């Protein structure tokens, strides 16, 4: 297997974690989506099993780490767009390990009164998020499964920070591909019913579309992970927005969603779209 070339090769950097550094109760032998993604982003909160899994994806698609960074840049643009649209409250489903440009950092840099509920079902995300997030009355993190939307919507911390009579931005970035069609449909429906008119649904979603055999091989990275990956094409991802008004430019490759001037990336591993709740 060729060496990882994205600058995250643990042997090269010597910065990634050893199993002895794992927080108690964390299964480091089974690759986790949050930690595989952390490898792509050049983070250090990952373990040997995660790095081996990430390498399978990178072998198939050497620009997958760049696609992950493009996804983070999309997150920042979408949060900025939401704030400029007057939205002051965010629910970030499938938060991932804290990295640069987290939702509250982007939103509160523009409007300090922005409120953010982070949601993830991976205990390691909670360990790191709680350690990094200072106690705050504007930002909180809860451990819940997006496939059980009531557990998120009815959580006391959600209810204390989010006013469902006001527009809210619900972020589902790089998370829905970890759920089946039925689970995704039910989750989005539950959030749509809870969201006030004018709210935004923000989605990014991985795809193998256009990659042929390399796409199948990249998907093998999650074969032994704690949760399976579900491939969807552009049409399938557009269908996620049923019941919402999809905003321009529709569902497009992540770097093409309202790019910042001068942005050049052209990765083709994730689609993105933003829609308004009518
Ligand atoms: C690829 S990361 C994406 C992180 C971040 N949303 C982003 O786009 O940069 C996917 C995250 O979704 C979380 N996740 C996967 N399935 C989930 C579920 N059913 N409920 C809650 N979180 C989930 C994983 O633990 C991981 O942290």
pLDDT tens for 18-27 read: 777 778 778 9
Q: Which one, of 240, 233, 71, lies nearest residue 146 by Cα?
A: 240
Tell me the residue ranges of DSSP E strands in 47-120: 89-93, 115-120
Show the domains of the chain with their CATH numbers: 67-209+233-276 (3.40.50.150)
Please write the tens of the pLDDT for every residue from 107-126.
999 999 999 999 999 999 99
Closest to 37 in 3D by CA, of 71, 74, 60? 71
| Mean of all residue pLDDT scores within the chain | 92
Q: What are the tens digits of pLDDT across the range 9-52?
A: 333 333 567 777 778 778 999 999 999 999 999 999 999 999 99
Contact 75, 86 (CB under 8 A): no
Task: Indicate the pairing of strand 169-173 with strand 89-93.
Answer: parallel
- How many whole angstroms from 95 Cα to the centroid of ligand 1? 5
- Give the residue, out of 120, 125, 129, 149, with the most ligand 1 atoms within 8 A of its beta carbon, to mutate for a pocket test: 120
Pocket of ligand 1 from Cβ distances under 6 Å: 33-34, 37, 71-72, 75, 94-96, 120-122, 125, 145-147, 173-175, 178, 227
Instruction: Please answer whether residues 226 and 31 qualify as being in contact, where contact means their C-beta atoms are separated by less than 8 angstroms.
Output: yes
């Amino acid at each position: 297997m060729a060496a990882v070339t994205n600058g995250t090769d643990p042997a090269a950097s010597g910065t990634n974690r050893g199993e002895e550094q794992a927080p108690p109760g964390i299964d480091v032998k089974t690759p986790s989506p949050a930690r595989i993604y952390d490898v792509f982003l050049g983070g250090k909160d990952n373990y040997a099993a995660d790095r081996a899994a990430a390498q399978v994806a990178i072998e198939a698609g050497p620009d997958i780490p760049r696609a992950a960074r493009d996804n983070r840049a999309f997150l920042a643009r979408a949060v900025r767009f939401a704030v400029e649209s007057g939205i002051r409250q965010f629910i970030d489903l499938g938060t991932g390990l804290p990295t640069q440009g987290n939702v509250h950092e982007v939103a509160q840099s523009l409007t300090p009164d922005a409120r953010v509920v982070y949601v993830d079902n991976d205990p390691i995300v909670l360990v790191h998020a709680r350690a990094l997030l200072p106690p705050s009355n504007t930002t909180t993190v809860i451990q819940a499964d997006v496939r059980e939307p009531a557990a998120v919507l009815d959580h006391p911390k959600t209810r204390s920070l989010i006013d469902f009579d006001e527009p809210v931005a619900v972020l589902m970035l790089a998370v829905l591909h970890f759920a089946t069609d039925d689970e995704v449909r039910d989750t989005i429906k539950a959030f749509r019913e809870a969201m006030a008119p004018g709210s935004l649904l923000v989605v990014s979603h991985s795809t193998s579309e256009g990659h042929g055999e390399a796409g199948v091989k990249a998907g093998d990275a999650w074969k032994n992970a704690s949760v399976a990956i579900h491939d969807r094409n552009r049409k399938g991802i557009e269908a996620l927005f049923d019941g919402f008004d999809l905003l321009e430019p529709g569902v497009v490759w992540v770097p093409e969603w309202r790019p910042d001037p001068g942005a050049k990336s052209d990765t083709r591993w994730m689609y993105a779209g933003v829609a308004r709740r009518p």
